[in-house]
Amino acid sequence: MIGNPQFKAMSYGGYRSTTRTDGPSISDIKEDLSLLFQMGVRLIRTYNTQQYPFARNTLQAIRELKAANSSFEMYVMLGAWIECKDAWTSSPDHSVGNTVKNGEEIAAAVDLVNEYPDIVKIIAVGNESMVRWATSYFVPPSVVLYHVNYLQDLKERGEIPAETWITSSDNHASWGGSSEYRNTDLKELIRAVDFVSLHTYPFHDSHHNPDFWVVPADEDNRSIKEKVDSAMVRARNYASEQYRVTAAYVRDIGGSEKRVAIGETGWSSLANSLYGNPGSNAADEYKEKMFFDLMTEWSGTNNVTLFYFEAFDEPWKDTSNSRGSENHFGLFTVDGKAKYALWDFVDEGNFDGLGRDGGPVQKTFDGDESSVMATVYPPSSNNNDSQQTRDRISTVNTSRSTGEVVTESVYVISDSSLLPTELNSMTYPSSTLWINAWEGTSTLEMGADNIFTLKTGTGSWWGAGLEIESSSGEDLSQFIGGTLTFDIRGDTTSNFNIGFQSGLWGNSSRPQVNNFVRFGPKLSRSINSYWVTHEIPMSEINKGADLTDVTSLIYLMGDSDFDGRNIEIRNIFYRQ
């Protein structure tokens, strides 16, 4: 089944509301699976076994569909959720697993594979459970290995079907695609699984690692469609290269016959920050279709099983932001409309008589292709890169003075993919920013790649910030309900504060207020050697600021355990 292109694979959630406690009924699931069957999907992937009834209901729905139609065929890669001790708390212990919950997930997986042996063909131990940017719950490979070995032992003893394949599904980096993850336990895990299931997401990296995404200089004069088409080929190649590097490592450890599948890849059709416009201009239905088609063709040509993420939009994934990208990875909308990637299926009559809630499958945009294309923006061009100086950020909005209210929806301090223009609602600061390491207590420098490197102090205190070079502060009052976003990594074990300042030190008419959240190795927010994006509500940062007088747009200050090590930060912006 794995490596057989006849078994088209897809991730399936099926949740139709903003909470998973209100999951789809067996009847709802049968509607969805009938649509997927008509698309040629024969293998689906789920993510939990016992926290919600969805997995069991999905298996029962397949059984009923098979009973009603002997030609219906569908198999399942059953996911068992794995997390660390004290996951989702302010102090997760990443060194060990959550023994109780993990054990319950695995026990439920065993029960389900024995109850539905003709349907469950794969058990996946964990979903992105080893990648370290999953800061709320990640575990070391040894935790996953323990459960994989347990399932393999059950198989050897005949306590689960002998044909059940055991794997784990995780980011390409944590399968050895990045050398930092390569250790003895990972090698043992690679040898223990029946195949490796890796994730690759060029969509996300259009913002976080956009070198592949920006329009090359020699393509700058092309049409929007030509730029986009070329960018999507680069996205396919980017995913292919991540697969190649990881598979080479896996087979070096696990043997040349070790199979490697893509357990997740996909493309969101909508985003209102980071990946949309404003943003990296990645999210729209045209690009989603191109990525789906290109990756489907690539997987067939290379005999690589690919679980496309995902079948349907799921609004529970980002309940605070209905237009957030995580809600819109589906090929169908939550109300069952076929996105642009599936319009051909509608035209060919594949979905006739099928649909969610008994209604017919309609096309998004009322089937008007020109309306789809009107939403398409190209990636940014190399020649639009901001020009900065080493001790100052000099890219400014010259049409506004400090003290005037900032009305744009995104305020960009420094970001590799957010490029304010007259055509979007983004802006740069109203004044140059001074890169200021306070009183020599630390060092703060900006590299050519717009990464700010702060060497923490070892004295009685340290601090640094990016400060408005003007007699008045920036008026960010419109951002009171918004967020501050940045990427951060480093090797310091210090506790430190990060946020913004309003007012001025020692000025009674403009009293300074430090507005911050805390980071530290034993706190809910911590840093490691991998880039992690934090989107922090202003309501959590604000300690009584005068938002009409923001003077340091981002600052860092030591709290305790000073060690003189480094913090790196990039892609800094505010969003209303």
Clarify whether residues 338 and 393 are in a common domain: no
Confidence of residue 511 (pLDDT cuts 50, 70, 90): confident
pLDDT of 387 over the 90 cut: no
Angle, vertex CA 301, rays to CA 297 and CA 304, nearest 5:
90
Q: What is the pLDDT of residue 191?
A: 98
Tell how strand 165-171 and strand 120-127 pair up.
parallel
Alpha carbons 92 and 531: distance in angstroms, whole number: 19
In a domain, 44, yes or no: yes
- 212 exposure class (CB count in 10 Å sphere: 0-12, 13-18, 19+): middle
Kindly state the average pLDDT of the residues 160-178. 96
Alpha carbons 395 and 400: distance in angstroms, whole number: 13
Total domains in the fold of the chain: 2
What is the CATH number for 493? 2.60.120.430
Query: Torsions phi, psi of 181, nearest 5?
Result: -90, -10
Say how many Å lie between the first and final Cα of the chain, rounded: 47
Q: What is the pLDDT of residue 388?
A: 36
Q: Is the dihedral of CA 13, 15, 20, 26 positive or negative?
A: negative
Clarify whether residues 453 and 498 are in a common domain: yes
Provide the residue type at 114 as one letter.
N
Asked whether 564 and 458 are in contact (CB, 8 A), the reply is: yes
Q: What is the pLDDT of residue 385?
A: 40
CB atoms within 10 A of CB 161: 14
Q: Where are the beta strands (DSSP E) in 399-537?
A: 410-414, 426-427, 433-437, 443-446, 452-455, 463-468, 483-490, 495-502, 513-519, 532-537
Per residue in 292-338, pLDDT (tens digit) is: 999 999 999 999 999 999 999 999 998 878 888 999 999 999 999 99
- 389 exposure class (CB count in 10 Å sphere: 0-12, 13-18, 19+): exposed
In a domain, 414, yes or no: yes
Clarify whether residues 56 and 78 are in a common domain: yes
Clarify whether residues 440 and 463 are in a common domain: yes
Location of structure tokens 């809630």: 357
Domain boundary among 327, 344, 373: 373
Asked whether 497 and 438 are in contact (CB, 8 A), the reply is: no
In a domain, 268, yes or no: yes
Domain boundary among 373, 395, 410: 373
Domain that holds residue 87: 8-373
Per residue in 550-564, pLDDT (tens digit) is: 999 999 999 888 888
Alpha carbons 160 and 142: distance in angstroms, whole number: 22
Q: Considering the chain, what percentage of its residues have pLDDT values greater than 70?
A: 98
Kindly state the average pLDDT of the residues 186-202. 98
Alpha carbons 158 and 276: distance in angstroms, whole number: 50
CA-based max dimension of the chain: 80
Q: What is the pLDDT of residue 87?
A: 93
Clarify whether residues 174 and 68 are in a common domain: yes
CA distances from 150 to 145, 160, 193 (A): 8, 11, 11
Kindly state the average pLDDT of the residues 451-459. 88
In a domain, 399, yes or no: yes
Confidence of residue 458 (pLDDT cuts 50, 70, 90): confident
In a domain, 82, yes or no: yes
Alpha carbons 426 and 339: distance in angstroms, whole number: 28
What torsion, rounded to 10 degrees, do the Cα atoms 403, 404, 409, 415 define?
-50
Clarify whether residues 192 and 160 are in a common domain: yes
Asked whether 411 and 404 are in contact (CB, 8 A), the reply is: no
In a domain, 1, yes or no: no
**CB within 8 Å of 187: residues ≥ 6 apart:** 253
Provide the residue type at 51 as one letter.
Q
pLDDT of 384 over the 70 cut: no
Clarify whether residues 356 and 413 are in a common domain: no
What is the CATH number for 40? 3.20.20.80
Q: Which of 70-84, 283-297, 416-430, 471-485 has the lowest mean pLDDT?
A: 416-430
In a domain, 3, yes or no: no
Clarify whether residues 309 and 436 are in a common domain: no
pLDDT of 438 over the 90 cut: no
Clarify whether residues 404 and 479 are in a common domain: yes
Per residue in 340-362, pLDDT (tens digit) is: 999 999 999 999 999 999 899 99
Clarify whether residues 562 and 505 are in a common domain: yes
Clarify whether residues 319 and 424 are in a common domain: no
- 407 exposure class (CB count in 10 Å sphere: 0-12, 13-18, 19+): exposed
Asked whether 406 and 430 are in contact (CB, 8 A), the reply is: yes
pLDDT of 441 over the 90 cut: no
Confidence of residue 382 (pLDDT cuts 50, 70, 90): low
Global pTM?
Answer: 0.75
In a domain, 157, yes or no: yes
Clarify whether residues 217 and 325 are in a common domain: yes
Domain boundary among 347, 373, 399: 373
Per residue in 6-61, pLDDT (tens digit) is: 899 999 999 999 999 989 999 999 999 999 999 999 999 999 999 899 999 999 99
